[in-house]
Amino acid sequence: MLANHIQNGIESARVAWSRIPNSDESQFVDHDGVGLLKKNDGSAVESLDYEVIENFAYREEQAHRRRKLYVSYLLVVKWFFALLIGICTGLAAVFINISVENFAGWKYSVTFNIIQKSYVAGFIVYILINLVLVYSSVYIITQFSPAAAGSGIPEIKGYLNGVDTHGILLFRTLIGKVFGSIGSVGGGLALGKEGPLVHTGACIASLLGQGGSTKYHLNSRWFNVFKSDRDRRDLVTCGCAAGVAAAFRAPVGGVLFALEEVTSWWRSQLMWRVFFTSAIVAVVVRTAMGWCKSGKCGHFGSGGFIIWDVSDGQEDYSFAELLPMAIIGVIGGLLGALFNQLTLYITTWRRNHLHKKGNRVKIIEACLVSLLTSVISFGLPLLRKCSPCPEPDPTSGIECPRPPGMYGNYVNFYCSKDNEYNDLATIFFNTQDDAIRNLFSAKTINEYSSQSLLTFLVMFYALAVVTFGTAVPAGQFVPGIMIGSTYGRLVGMFVVKYYRKLNIEEGTYALLGAASFLGGSMRMTVSLCVIMVEITNNLKLLPLIMLVLLISKAVGDAFNDGIYEEQARLRGIPLLESKPKYEMRNMIAKEACGSGRVVSFPRVVKVSDVFSILQSNTHNGFPVIEHTRSGEPLVIGLVLRSHLLVILQSKVDFQHSPLPSDPRAGGRSIRHDSGEFAKPVSSKGICLDDIHLTSEDLEMYIDLAPFLNPSPYIVPEDMSLTKVYNLFRQLGLRHLFVVPRPSRVVGLITRKDLLIEDAENVNTLELRATSVRTLHQNKRLTARNADVERPLLNGLLS
């Protein structure tokens, strides 16, 4: 009997674990005319509330807290959080890099020692070590944190665009991202740790903003200051920039990456905090590297953090070289677009046929990819004939061949003589950071043969395509640099032979090739240009990098979208791009609303009616209607579903009378603050199943006036959908009212009406309210005191 109970308990636990939503198993559905992300468990991912809900609770809170001292306190706390995000992200990056370098260094050291006696034994040990590391990574992802798979950049981009994908910012996602990246990158897969570092920084920022993790009892109420989605969005933006700054040691590149690639909403105050966070990351990483130079970090050395110094490379270039450089840009655009398309096809096939079969198939798949990668990286150099070492040059500081297990050029692998090296093993049988450093290296002309570079390009390109989409944390920066630097060096070899000039370096063309492939795949320009300059420490190559990036992006855009946009679309994340579709120019707002009936509430509504409406549909916003004395219905505001759930669960706002009450007249005080209505990041918030109402509760009433947003954004029904799109995206809205053409004008606001003249009483730190008005009583806006006749509601965009 006891054994049966234990077995039943194990089975129940397995069933419960299998119901955990997996971010890799989502699809985009159209629900009630509104695009939502639908999980397999039936839960829809909601939009974020970036708009300030200026209800009575918010206004009373602002009246008590909007003093100079409190505003200064908030500003200091925001900068303090930026400091913490930078320190924590930098420490996480140091931990990941030290762990990866030690695992990889130990792996290659053991393998090199064994192959001195037997290449077969070394091959087996090499495969087993990679399998163990990759298995640990995929096991953590499938069994503990499914949302940590992939790079995480499409999900974070969706979050900053206004789409709340559940699970992407949890504590277990952070743990899975950190340890999963160590296993997958240390296991030699054709992926990088830079994309996961961006996701790691975002998770750290989100967890700090909500005071930690309540599920794992790692929280503190002292950190739980910012509860709105607007403030959390700013923190996550700082975390994204910190992740890039930590991955590439490029603080300016991190700021530009957050501005160009992931954020949809930007302001000058946020720019300063993001820049400060990236600077803190640079200081932490620099300090850690200085500490590790003393040998306290094991195998971690100059190859740990990405910094490929090519300052001693080609110093100048001729006008004739611009043609092959432009050709590199075209090649990067073509190969980048092809990479995006192939990964899209393979990921779609993998999701429809493999990943539906469960976690066991995901684990087997990752292990098979690891086995294939190990066989190719170890086996292909065995088929390559070794080359004699060049004449030693004391000024270059390059040793040929290098000692086994040490970083550098000229690897002696399966060579019959001691003064020979294997050029294919120099790239393949090496960590990706060291291989890129070898490809970028100057003063190493004729180190690689064109056959070896072409072989590596084809095989590694295929491995990167196959590896992308497996259930492990995976970044595409370093694999893209590997691919681009390979064909860039190939072009450089032909340029050297054709022009016959001594000042042409193959490593310079390898750098341009890396930039071109990243531009052709990711479609970034400004941020990628700055990142490449920062990691190579060569400002002279800036115009050339700009040239190849512009060409590769233009070529790639002719075929498909960037890899992050493609993957976001595949994951069902409804991103609002910066530019509306061309078809919207011929549409109006009323056409976008559809023919569905708008579900609304009266101002005083019965509890049973609220519960019934919430149960019968999944809308997240409801107009509130109040009838005038003549019986005409007027829209008085918008109430959110999450606010109604809080009211139903607390029950403190229930009343017996069906008549409205006015909190401003002293009828009753507001029993909630704005923080109670904020949805926690670490959970899905309140659902109807959590609410238990008695028959007496259902017969009571709720006055919705204190909880609704009395000033929602409104557009006329005949407004161009292009204008509506820009308004919706730039303001970060969740709902937008569509009304008939208004018949009355109660005032006209110009620029001068929005300027505050009394400079002595104005606090110019950071205004959280969405409206601005003067402090002079005699200059208040006419629209504030006017009895505005609100038009009937025609539709609701969300």
pLDDT of residue 128 exceeding 90, the answer is yes
Rounded to the nearest integer, the mean pLDDT of the chain is 81
pLDDT of residue 247 exceeding 60, the answer is yes
* Buried/exposed 378-402: b ≥16 CB within 10 Å, e otherwise: bebbeebebbebbeeeeeeebebbb
Q: For residues 265 and 770, what is the distance between their CA atoms, to the nearest angstrom?
A: 15
Taking the CB of residue 340, how many other CB atoms lie within 10 A of it? 27
| Residue 72: predicted pLDDT | 83
How would residue 51 be classed by pLDDT, with cut points 50, 70 and 90? Answer: confident
Q: How far is CA 183 from CA 176, 352, 422, in A?
A: 10, 26, 27
Of 40, 11, 29, the residue nearest 356 (C-alpha): 40
Structure-token pair, residue 604? 């005083």
> Across 593-653, where does the E strand assignment appear?
601-602, 604-606, 621-627, 633-640
Amino acid present at 511: L
| Residue 212: predicted pLDDT | 66
| Residue 633: predicted pLDDT | 83
Q: Are 232 and 209 in contact (CB under 8 A)?
A: yes
Of 148, 188, 151, 185, the residue nearest 167 (C-alpha): 148
Instruction: Over range 670-685, report the average pLDDT.
Output: 65
For 420-445, write each residue's pLDDT tens digit: 888 888 888 887 887 888 888 776 66
pLDDT of residue 394 exceeding 80, the answer is no
Q: For residues 74 and 89, what is the distance between their CA atoms, to the nearest angstrom?
A: 22
For 721-743, write each residue's pLDDT tens digit: 999 999 898 888 888 989 888 77
3-state secondary structure of 602: strand
Structure-token pair, residue 159? 């979050």
Q: How far is CA 451 from CA 58, 372, 377, 484, in A?
A: 68, 21, 16, 16
How would residue 781 be classed by pLDDT, with cut points 50, 70 and 90? Answer: very low
Q: Are 514 and 486 in contact (CB under 8 A)?
A: no
Instruction: Over range 214-225, report the average pLDDT.
Output: 65
Instruction: Over range 89-111, report the average pLDDT.
Output: 90
| Residue 550: predicted pLDDT | 96
Instruction: Over range 210-223, report the average pLDDT.
Output: 66
Instruction: Over range 647-671, report the average pLDDT.
Output: 73
Instruction: Over range 308-331, report the average pLDDT.
Output: 79
CA 519 to chain CA centroid, nearest Å: 18
Burial of 661 (0-12, 13-18, 19+ CB in 10 A): middle
Strand partners, 626: 634
Residues 6+ apart with CB under 8 A from 582: none
Residues 6+ apart with CB under 8 A from 510: 439, 440, 484, 485, 486, 488, 489, 492
| Residue 798: predicted pLDDT | 65
How would residue 653 be classed by pLDDT, with cut points 50, 70 and 90? Answer: confident
Which of 51-55, 72-76, 295-299, 559-563 has the weakest average pLDDT?
295-299
pLDDT of residue 178 exceeding 80, the answer is yes
> Across 545-585, where does the E strand assignment appear?
none
pLDDT of residue 121 exceeding 90, the answer is yes
Q: For residues 363 and 470, what is the distance between their CA atoms, to the nearest angstrom?
A: 9
For 628-643, write each residue's pLDDT tens digit: 888 788 888 999 888 8
Instruction: Over range 442-463, report the average pLDDT.
Output: 87
How would residue 35 be classed by pLDDT, with cut points 50, 70 and 90? Answer: very low
Angle, CA of 743, 749 and 755, to the nearest 5°: 165
| Residue 122: predicted pLDDT | 92
